[in-house]
Every structure is written in C-alpha cells, then in structure tokens.
C-alpha cells in the first residue's frame, strides 16, 4: 500500500495513549472491563503478529424513501460533506501509526471506497466485505490470523462489530461501532497460547 501523502501527522492517540487489552473469552464487551484496560505509550508488535484494523465507513448520504429497499442504490451512496471530514480525520490517525506496506481492503460500496481513498489510492475491493457479509466470510477474506502483516479493512455494520466481538469475546454479538470509527486488533501467540489484543479504539469525534 502506498499511503496518500499528507504533510501533517499525529504523534500519538489524540484521546490519550492507545488502549492495550488482551482478550478473555466470554468476557463481554472489552470497553466495559475498565479494570482490565491499561494504557501503553507505543505499539509493541512482533513481526509474526497479524494486525487487523477494522474501519467503519464514514457518514454517507441517506436514500430517499422510494429507494430505501434497493440494494443497488444503497451500494451507490456517497459520503456526506461531514463524512469526508470524518474519513480524513481517521485516515490521518491511521497514517501516523501504520507501516508503509499495510494492505487496505474495502467493500465494493461507494461509501467504503471513498472512506478508504482518504488513506490510500490503491485499496483492494473485496466482494466478501459487502454490506450484510457474514463473519466467517470476512475472516476468510482477510486471512485471519494466518497473515503476518497489517491489514486495514474498511467495511460496514453490523459485521464489523460482530467480527470484533467474536475475536475478543468468543461469540458474535452486535457491538456498536461509530461511523469512521477504528478498532485495532492484534492476533498473536504467546507461550503456545493464541491471543487477541485490542490495541486501540478510535472514536472520530475525538480526532
């Protein structure tokens, strides 16, 4: 991936240091487990780890009532003016933290492609990431946790929240993810134990 050039970057997480959280199966929503959250000053990630960055598309135009049930029309919805600003803010944060060889995958919808374009001009469009995708198809498409690289996945609710809940809590649940929000997960093996670490959750309203 060649990151789109921007003159300014962020030195760190704008809401404080990134969150680091090691998943405990069946523990529920990780952000509710305040006692298990701790802050780190930097990302310490082994080269054998897979980093999965889930990025929900930014705010998109609503459909008129007459087209509300049309999948084709839904796929063509562009970002709003506010959505473009959200995408740029989230991309700015990502650009400050991602290596240059990060792979970017996105849904074929216009709103996800426009969100991804704020970060890079060469995002790979993947049909398996379309609205309504199931979690197993998403994980197969991104090759979790076999790939040892950084992968940004630009997609949709509810599957982003369901992917996060499955990897962190062990079951699919409808977790809320804000538009243009980012969830950074790391899959790793430590002492023969597979772990999923929540590295950061970024709310675009604080960028």
pLDDT in tens, 112-126: 999 999 999 999 999
**Token digits of residue 157:** 């609710």
Q: How many helices (H) and strands (E) does the chain have?
A: 5, 8
Q: Is the dihedral of CA 21, 141, 148, 54 positive or negative?
A: negative
Question: pLDDT higher for 5 or 55?
Answer: 55
Angular region, 165: left φ>0, alpha ψ -120 to 50, beta rest: alpha
Q: In order of start, what are the domains of the chain with their CATH numbers?
A: 19-206 (3.40.50.1240)
Q: How far apart are CA 128 and CA 106, in angstroms?
A: 9
Band of residue 3 on the pLDDT scale cut at 50, 70, 90: low
Helix (H) or strand (E) holding 125: strand 124-125
pLDDT in tens, 69-123: 799 999 999 999 999 999 999 999 999 999 999 999 999 999 999 999 999 999 9
**What pLDDT, on the 0 to 100 scale, is given for residue 68?**
73
**Token digits of residue 110:** 């216009």
pLDDT in tens, 26-43: 444 554 433 333 333 344
**Token digits of residue 104:** 């970017």
**What pLDDT, on the 0 to 100 scale, is given for residue 38?**
34
Band of residue 198 on the pLDDT scale cut at 50, 70, 90: very high
What residue has token string 């135009």?
Answer: 61
pLDDT at 16 over 70: no
């Amino acid at each position: 991936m060649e990151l789109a050039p921007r003159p300014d970057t962020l030195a760190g997480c704008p809401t404080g240091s990134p969150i680091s959280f090691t998943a405990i199966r069946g523990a529920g929503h990780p952000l509710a487990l305040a006692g298990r959250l701790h802050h780190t000053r930097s990302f310490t990630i082994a080269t054998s780890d897979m980093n999965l960055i889930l990025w929900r598309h930014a705010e998109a135009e609503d459909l008129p009532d007459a087209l509300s049930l049309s999948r084709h029309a839904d796929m063509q919805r562009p970002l709003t003016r506010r959505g473009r600003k959200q995408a740029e803010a989230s991309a700015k944060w990502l650009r400050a933290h991602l290596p240059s060889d990060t792979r970017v995958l996105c849904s074929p919808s216009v709103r996800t492609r426009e969100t991804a374009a704020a970060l890079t001009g060469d995002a790979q469009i993947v049909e398996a990431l379309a609205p309504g995708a199931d979690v197993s198809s998403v994980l197969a498409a991104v090759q979790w946790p076999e790939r040892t690289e950084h992968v940004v996945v630009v997609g949709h609710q509810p599957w982003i929240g369901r992917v996060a809940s499955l990897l962190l809590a062990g079951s699919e649940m409808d977790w809320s993810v804000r538009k243009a929000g980012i969830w950074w997960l790391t899959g790793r093996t430590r002492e023969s134990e597979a772990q999923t670490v929540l590295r950061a959750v970024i709310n675009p309203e604080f960028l």
